[in-house]
Structure 1
Amino acid sequence: MPGKDKPRSGTVDLIAKRPIPARLRSRLKRSLGKLMAELGYPGHAVTVVLTDDPEIRALKLEHWGEDTPTDVLSFPTFEPGDPFVPPHLGDIVISLDTAKHQAEEHGHTLETEALILAAHSLWHLLGHDHTTEAEWAHFHHVQALIQTL
């Protein structure tokens, strides 16, 4: 549309299935939206669900056949290589229980861990995997980048 500004960040819909600090909500939405723009997806959206270990465990069992909790799951809305990338890239589900334990292990805050997990999951939504060292390097890059936004 002529004269209309391009979006400067992606849209992040956040669903908290348990109480979370207000700062976590605002920082996650802002930083993940900016990361989407940095990666070339400023007009796109994701949904982030913040939940607990029992719910993420059930999702992992249902979709991957593994009966164990995890830190983050990615549910993309398109297949990599599709010529059309839909406006909604997919869903990111983060277990705040596991994120809290990992934050303590790594010596940083829950907020930082949630940002790292969101960036990691977004990179999966965009069709990337981490089966080689080179692929892991890209994951580490986006995980570090989100912390600066």
Structure 2
Amino acid sequence: MTLSLTYECRPDSNFPLSKREVMFMAELLLKSLNIEGFDFDLKITDDSAIAEINQDFLGCVGPTNVLSFPFSETPDLATNKYLGEIVLSVDTLARETRLYAQAPEEHMIRLLAHALLHLAGYDHGPEMYALTDTAVESVAPIFRQRMVGWQ
């Protein structure tokens, strides 16, 4: 797996994860979703930047939590190892963690799983939601255990 990870905002308490932790989370998610070994780009940004991307590319007004830009509309996972790009807003992540009473890392696991499934060709629906839930249930405990080891 090659993950190109870019922070396009100042690190702050809204996003308490290091690059090493994000890389580990991505590896766990790819394995859990059976797309291990695939490459993608992840940009961590703020509401202002994601709102601009949302408007420019999707015609939607305002910020959102995560956007996925698949490399192909019909991914051929057998021949192409690059999935596409994910953009995640730390501001929306922070708001939603308070709203849903979740730890930031658990909500990020959910958002990244959802976004990775979009990159792999899934659309919203029962199958995608079930795969997302399964990924969160399997990855979150492993990630929490590792985080304790890093402290």
* Length-normalised TM-score, structure 1: 0.80
Is it true that 1:18 corresponds to 2:9 in the alignment?
yes
* Letter of the structure 2 residue corresponding to residue 102 of structure 1: E
2:41 aligned with 1:47, yes or no?
A: yes
Structure 2: gaps of 5 or more residues: 143-151
Q: In the TM superposition, what whole-angstrom CA distance separates every residue of 1:6-59 from its partner, at most 9, and x where no partner exists? A: xxxx33221111233674422221121122133333322111100011111111
1:145 aligns to what?
138
Identical residues among aligned pairs (%): 27
Higher helix share: 2
What is the aligned residue count?
A: 139
Residue aligning to 2:30: 36
Deviation of 1:143 after TM superposition, in Å, equals 3.2
Report what 1:86 is aligned to. Answer: 80
Q: Secondary structure at the match of 1:70?
A: coil
Q: Which has the higher contact order (CA 8 A, sep 6+)?
A: 2
In 1: Cα distance, 2:26 partner to 2:4 partner: 10
Residues 145, 129 of structure 1: CA spacing in aligned structure 2 closer, same or farther, 3 A cutoff?
Answer: farther
Partner of 2:111: 117
Structure 1's unaligned 5+ residue stretches are 1-9
Normalized against structure 2, the TM-score is what?
Answer: 0.79
